[in-house]
Structure 1
Amino acid sequence: MSFLVITVFAIAGNAILNYLHIGIPALQGAGGLLLLLVALQLLTGLGNAGNPQSVSDDVNVALVPLGTPLLAGPGAIAAVIVNVGQADGATSAYLAIGAAIVSIHIVLVLVLRFSTVLIKILGIGGITLMAKIAGLLLAAIAVQLIADSIKGFIAAG
């Protein structure tokens, strides 16, 4: 499902942005802020996005699988649309983006498939350490997206 969501936004994302009159800098800024929120949750351990009890009663879980917003969330969608928008019509850039989407989903399948083995190998301390490192790297990516957004607004204005 995640692969389908990301692929749809890679193909139709720019058309959606054009229809809504949203520029790439605005999407970069919004994606950066959302990624920063996720990074802060990883770094602080606060927030429990994967808690099924946090789903409101009026949302049908069968229509929105819990894995989709976690694997193909707003940050991933924004990153795909921004990268496709910056490809400038180069076929090699589109192929690279497509290869990246496929390869990251292969890695996701492998990690999810062997997650119990990874948990046994890493232990609770190792998983916590990896979450903190991932949070730090994600925060850096988020800040870079926000900085690029600001540069884009300055260049456009």
Structure 2
Amino acid sequence: IIETGQVKIAKFNAAGDEYILHLLDAGNSFNDIAALENGYNPAHAIALTEVACWLIPTETIQRLLAISPSCSQAAIRMLTSRVRLLIQQLEDLALYSVTTRLARFLLQQAETPLVAGGVSRVSIAAHLATTPETISRSLRHLEAIGAIQFNRHQIEIVQPAMLRALAYSHPT
């Protein structure tokens, strides 16, 4: 369980390309699958900032779940939430254009930024499962239609309604 700091949960292919599954901050847990199955974690956890976290042994978690229905229910709710998020990510990858996914990402970052110190094109690409070049083209398109503008290496949302309409349009 993360006490302080930010952790990125990611998968890597053989070429080293990264896909970011989750960005987590204080109060979130990670390595849940390994703890519940007493196995390995299928993803990598990478500290984005200095991190303090609690390590709870698998045996302790399994004992607690066996004796506490409320803890078991909380674990089920947490896992259900993660499954819903992964289904949403799968839907986004399969059904929506990069520009639509980028618009959604920019709106989410504007509401609750999780990445400390800003976000690079490489990081956005890893989060959206695409290439930095594709992110650059989509950013230029969003700028050309007047939804965003660049202000000293920062992205400013100048037409939030336009960005929202694009972000939540029907799949393409």
Q: What TM-score does the superposition give when structure 2 sets the normalisation length?
A: 0.30
Instruction: Determine which structure has the larger strand proportion and give its number.
Output: 2
Larger radius of gyration between Structure 1 and Structure 2: 2
> TM (normalized to structure 1)?
0.32
